């Protein structure tokens, strides 16, 4: 959980781009993620930032709502929660804003032509598979069938993509364990 509202940690440009791409794919594949952020967390954010007499209680309620939201979508990591807070702040300032507020790219950004490990055809697929696994909770076998790719390859891509993004893979992953057992 961020210690302060509005605290933002700058990520290296390539990591920020990959995380932005991941969040855009989450928004496209699972619109309920942002809808629930707006419906369930945004009211708590507005109360917590209104500087009322019950600021500590409002902060606690905001942290609880944010934590519940992040757990529900398997996005319980510091950078996603920080990004969600930034998005909430953006919604407060610009009522017309609808999507994720982009992560700062920092100086020397390579821009949108970033290629994850110089494999342009793989980066978007890996992110899409991670969204399908992590947020949509599709089984590994279903992702592999849809992609027409070996489940072991999907598993390796999921593990690498999650590690590179700093996103812990969802718990209770029976299909990952099954792929590991059948691969021996």
Tens-digit pLDDT profile for residues 123-165: 788 889 999 999 999 999 999 999 999 999 999 999 888 888 8
Cα(162)–Cα(175) distance, integer angstroms: 16
Give the 3-state secondary structure of residue 107: coil
Quick: pLDDT tens for 73-90.
Answer: 999 999 999 999 989 988
Please provide residue 98's backbone torsions phi and psi, each rounded to the nearest 5 degrees: -120, -35
Tell me the whole-structure pTM to 2 decimals: 0.72
Burial class (CB in 10 A: 0-12, 13-18, 19+), 140: buried
Nearest to 80 by CA among 119, 130, 129, 124: 130
Say yes or no to pLDDT of 19 above 80.
yes
Distances (CA, A) of 114 to 29, 38, 79, 105, 120: 22, 30, 20, 12, 8
Q: How far apart are CA 9 and CA 85, in angstroms?
A: 12
| Residue carrying the six token digits 């953006």 | 90
- Alpha-carbon Rg for the chain in angstroms: 18
**Mean pLDDT of the chain, nearest integer:** 76
Report the distance separating Cα 24 and Cα 99, nearest Å: 8
pLDDT at 67 over 90: yes
pLDDT score for 52? 67
Q: Which residue has the higher pLDDT, 54 or 79?
A: 79
Task: Please state, in angstroms and rounded to a whole number, the distance separating the CA atoms of residues 14 and 70.
Answer: 24
């Amino acid at each position: 959980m961020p210690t302060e509202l509005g605290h933002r940690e700058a990520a290296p440009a390539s990591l920020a781009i990959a995380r932005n791409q991941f969040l855009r794919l989450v928004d496209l594949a699972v619109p309920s993620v942002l809808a629930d952020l707006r419906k369930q967390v945004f009211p708590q954010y507005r109360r917590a930032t209104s500087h009322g007499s019950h600021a500590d209680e409002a902060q606690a309620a905001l942290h609880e709502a944010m934590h519940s939201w992040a757990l529900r979508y398997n996005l319980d990591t510091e950078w996603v929660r920080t990004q969600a807070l930034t998005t909430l702040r953006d919604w407060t300032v610009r009522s017309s804003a609808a999507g994720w507020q982009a992560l700062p790219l920092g100086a020397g950004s390579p821009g949108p032509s970033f290629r994850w490990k110089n494999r342009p055809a793989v980066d978007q697929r890996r992110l899409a598979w991670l969204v399908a696994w992590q947020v949509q909770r599709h089984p590994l076998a279903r992702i592999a069938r849809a992609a027409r790719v070996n489940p072991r390859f999907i598993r390796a891509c999921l593990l690498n993509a999650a590690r590179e993004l700093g996103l812990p893979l969802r718990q209770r992953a029976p299909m990952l364990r099954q792929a590991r057992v059948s691969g021996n």
